[in-house]
Chains A and B, each alone.
Chain A
Amino acid sequence: MLKHIRKALAISALFLAVSTAAFAQDKPKVAFVPQLIGIPYFNAMEAGGNRAAKELGVDFIYSGPVDTNPVDQLQIVQNLIDQGVNAISVSVLDASSIAPVVEAAKAKGIKLFTSDSDAPDSGRAVYVAQATDEGLGSTIIDELVKRVGEDAKIGIVSGEATASNLNAWIGFMQKQAAAKYPKLKLLEPQYAGGTAERAAQISGDLMAANPDIKAIIAVASTTCPGVAQAIETAGKIGSVIGAGYCSPNTARSYLKSGAFGFTVLWDPAQLGYLTVWAGKQLIDGKAFEAENKVPGFDNPVTYDAATGILLLGPPAVFTAENVDKFDF
C-alpha cells in the first residue's frame, strides 16, 4: 500500500514540476469575457483577439457564460482576477452589477476595461467601442428613413430585456426619431429573449397588429433570423423591410431575398484585435493618444480622454450589394 502511495506521490510531483514549467511563461495575459459564448459575433471577436495575441506577443484568454446571466459572467471575471491575468476586458451584460469585480481588480492591480458593451460609471480603465451607442442608434434610423420615408411605422424586436447595451441603442433610436423625424412612429420595443422562434412569433404578431408597419428592427443578433423569417413567411417582402445589428453571414440570405434591407455592424474581428491591443497598451503602461496607430488598421483609432472611449470607427452598413465581400 505504502509503495503505491509513494509511487503516486512521485508521479504527481513530476506532474507538478512539468506543469509549473509549462505555466511559467513570461508573456503578459489579456482576457476577453463576452456576454455569451457560442454566437458568431463573439466568435469573430475571439478570432481577432487570437490574431492580435500572436502579433503582439501576449497570451489571449477567451471565456464567457453559456447563458446571458450576469452572475455567471461575474464569476468568470472574478476567476480571471484570481488567476492574475494582467488585463481583463469585459463585454458587460449589466452595467449596474459589474462594480464588485472592478473593485477586486483594482485591489490586485489588474487592468479591467470594457469592450463592446460599456459600464460608464464603474471605474473601468477604458472602453473599447465598436461605435458610439448614439451612432449605432441613429445610423439605423437614418438608413431606415432613407428606405421607407419619414412618415412610417417601425417595430423594434430586441433580445433580453435586461441587456444594458441593447437598451441603450433602443434609447438612442427613440431619441433620434423624436429629434429628427417627428412623423416617424416607433412602436414599443418587444423582447424575444434569446430565441429565433420567439422573435419570429413576435414579429409575425407585430405585423398582424400593424398592417401599415413599414420596417422591423432586430436589435439583438439572436433575433435577426426570426424577424427575417417572419417577414418572408407573412409574404411581406417588399412592403416590410427588416434591419438590425447582425453579421453578414447571419443576414446574407435574408438580404438577398429582400426580407432584410440592410444590417448595421462593424467588423467584430477588428474589435477583438483592438481589444487585445488596448489591453497590451494598458499592461505596458502606455497612455492612449488622441489618435493611435494600431498595426493592421488603415485609419488611426481615436481616443476620447474625457469619456475614456477608444473608438473603432463608424459602423458599416451591409446591403445585398456588398454583403458578399465579407465573411464573419
Chain B
Amino acid sequence: MNRIRKLQGPALILALLALLWIIVILVLLVLKPSVFSLATVTTILQFSTILALVALGQAIVIMAGGAGIDLSVGGIVSLSAISGMLALKLGLPAFLLPPACILAGAVLGAFNGVLVTKLSILPLIATLGTFFVYSGLALALTGGAAQSGVPSWLLIWGRGVFSGIPVPFLTIAIPVFAIAGIVLMWTAWGRWIYAMGFNERSARLVGIPVDRARLILYSLSGVLSGAAALISLAWLGSGRPNIGQNLELESLTAAMLGGIAILGGRGGVGGVFAAVMLLVTLKTGLLQLNVNTVWQVGIVGALLVFVLLADRLSQNWR
C-alpha cells in the first residue's frame, strides 16, 4: 500500500489504467472466454489506430500549457480526407495522396497555431471556431457525399494485417508513439514542452521560444490528424465528410484519462496510449458481451470522472 501511495501523477495513472485494463480482460475472460483470439486483438488495434493518433496530438497540445486544447481535431480529420480525395479528382497523381492528406492536416493545424499564438485567441475558442469551419467545410464542399476512388495499392496497406497487427498500426501508430515518447523524455524539446506547460513565464524567461514551439505543436497535432485521415481513406476505401465526427470529445477523453493535466505540464504518451487501449478494449468487451451500446457513453464518462477523482485524491495524500 505504501508503494502505491508513493506513486504519483503519471505513474499512478498508468498503474490505475493498467489495473482497470486487467479487470476488463479478466471479466471478459470469465464471462466469455471465446473472445480471446488473435482476431479480437486485430479488431481492437484496428479501431484504436485513428483514435490513438488524434489523441496523441490532443495530448501534446494540452501538455504544452497556455490553456492549450484542440477541439478541431475531428474537423481536421474530415477535411484532410476530403481535400485529399478532391485533389485526386482534380488531377493530383495518386502517389501524392498520402503526402497531400498529411500536408492538409499540417496546414489546418498551423492555422490553429497562428490563431492561438499570433492573434492570442484562447485555444478553446480558436479551435471551437475552426471546429465549426473545418467540419462544416468538409460537409459543404461535398454536399455530404462520400468520395470514392482511393487507389487500390493504398487499400492493401490500409487493410493489411501482419501477424495479427493491422499494418497502419504497425507502420504509423507505433513509430509515432515511440518517437513522441523519446522526444518528450530525453530531448531538450521534450523538456521545453513540459517547462512551457508547467510555468510559461519562467519558460519564457529562460529563453524557450514558447510561441514558435506552440505553433509547431498545433501543426503537429494537425499532421497527426492528417495521418489519421489517410488511414481512414486506406482502410474504408472512401473519403467520408464526417469521418472525424466526435473525435474531439473522444480524443479529449483519452488524453484526460491518460493523465494529461488539463492545465499542462504533466502527463506522458504512455498514459495516452494506455487510455486509448483501455477505451477500445472496454468498448470491444461490452460489444462482445452484447451489452446495449447506450451504456458505453455513460461508462466512459463515469470512468473519466472516476480517474480524475482518484488522481485528485492521490494528490491530497501527499
Q: Do chains A and B touch in the complex (CB under 8 A)?
A: yes
Seen from chain A, the residues whose Cβ lies within 8 Å of a Cβ on chain B are 12, 15-16, 19-20, 23, 37-38, 61, 63-67, 69-71, 74-76, 78-80, 82-84, 94-97, 99-100, 103, 160-164, 167, 191
Instruction: Check B37 against A161 for contact (C-beta < 8 Å).
Output: no
Tell me, yes or no, whether B33 is within 8 Å of chain A by CB.
yes
Q: Hey, what's the 0/1 contact readout for B14-43 against A, CB within 8 Å counting as 1?
A: 000000000000100111111101011001
Instruction: Check B146 against A97 for contact (C-beta < 8 Å).
Output: yes
Closest Cβ neighbor of B51 among chain A residues: A71
For the side of the interface on B, what is the size category?
Answer: 35 or more
Interface of A is mostly: helix
Seen from chain B, the residues whose Cβ lies within 8 Å of a Cβ on chain A are 26, 29-35, 37, 39-40, 43, 46-47, 50, 139, 143-146, 148, 159, 232, 235-238, 240-243, 245-246, 283-284, 287-288, 290, 292-294, 296-297
Residues of chain B lying within 8 A (CB to CB) of residue A65: 293
Residues of chain B lying within 8 A (CB to CB) of residue A76: 287, 293
Q: A75-B283, A100-B237 are in contact. Are A167 and B148 (CB under 8 A)?
A: no
Identify B39's interface contact among A23, A82, A103, CB under 8 A. A82
Residues of chain A lying within 8 A (CB to CB) of residue B37: 82
CB distance from B74 to the nearest CB of A (A): 10
Instruction: Check A66 against B236 for contact (C-beta < 8 Å).
Output: no
A-B complex: 5 closest residue pairs judged by Cβ atoms: A161-B144, A96-B238, A97-B236, A79-B287, A96-B146
CB distance from B159 to the nearest CB of A (A): 6
CB distance from B137 to the nearest CB of A (A): 13
Instruction: Check A82 against B43 for contact (C-beta < 8 Å).
Output: yes
Residues of chain B lying within 8 A (CB to CB) of residue A69: 242, 245-246
How many angstroms from the CA of A12 to the CA of B29 in the assembled complex?
9
How many angstroms from the CA of A61 to the CA of B289 in the assembled complex?
11
Residues of chain A lying within 8 A (CB to CB) of residue B245: 67, 69
Identify A64's interface contact among B30, B159, B238, B293, CB under 8 A. B293
Instruction: Check B43 against A20 for contact (C-beta < 8 Å).
Output: no
Residues of chain A lying within 8 A (CB to CB) of residue B143: 161
Known: A19-B31, A99-B236, A103-B159; 8 extra A-B contacts, CB below 8 A, are: A12-B26, A16-B30, A64-B293, A82-B35, A82-B288, A96-B148, A100-B235, A191-B144
Residues of chain B lying within 8 A (CB to CB) of residue A15: 30-31
Residues of chain A lying within 8 A (CB to CB) of residue B39: 82
Instruction: Check A161 against B240 for contact (C-beta < 8 Å).
Output: no
How many angstroms from the CA of A16 to the CA of B246 in the assembled complex?
37
Instruction: Check B293 against A37 for contact (C-beta < 8 Å).
Output: yes
CB distance from A320 to the nearest CB of B (A): 33
Closest Cβ neighbor of B236 among chain A residues: A97
Residues of chain A lying within 8 A (CB to CB) of residue B243: 70-71
Closest Cβ neighbor of A75 among chain B residues: B47
Instruction: Check A79 against B237 for contact (C-beta < 8 Å).
Output: no
Closest Cβ neighbor of A166 among chain B residues: B144
CB distance from B232 to the nearest CB of A (A): 8
Residues of chain B lying within 8 A (CB to CB) of residue A23: 32, 34
Instruction: Check A19 against B32 for contact (C-beta < 8 Å).
Output: yes
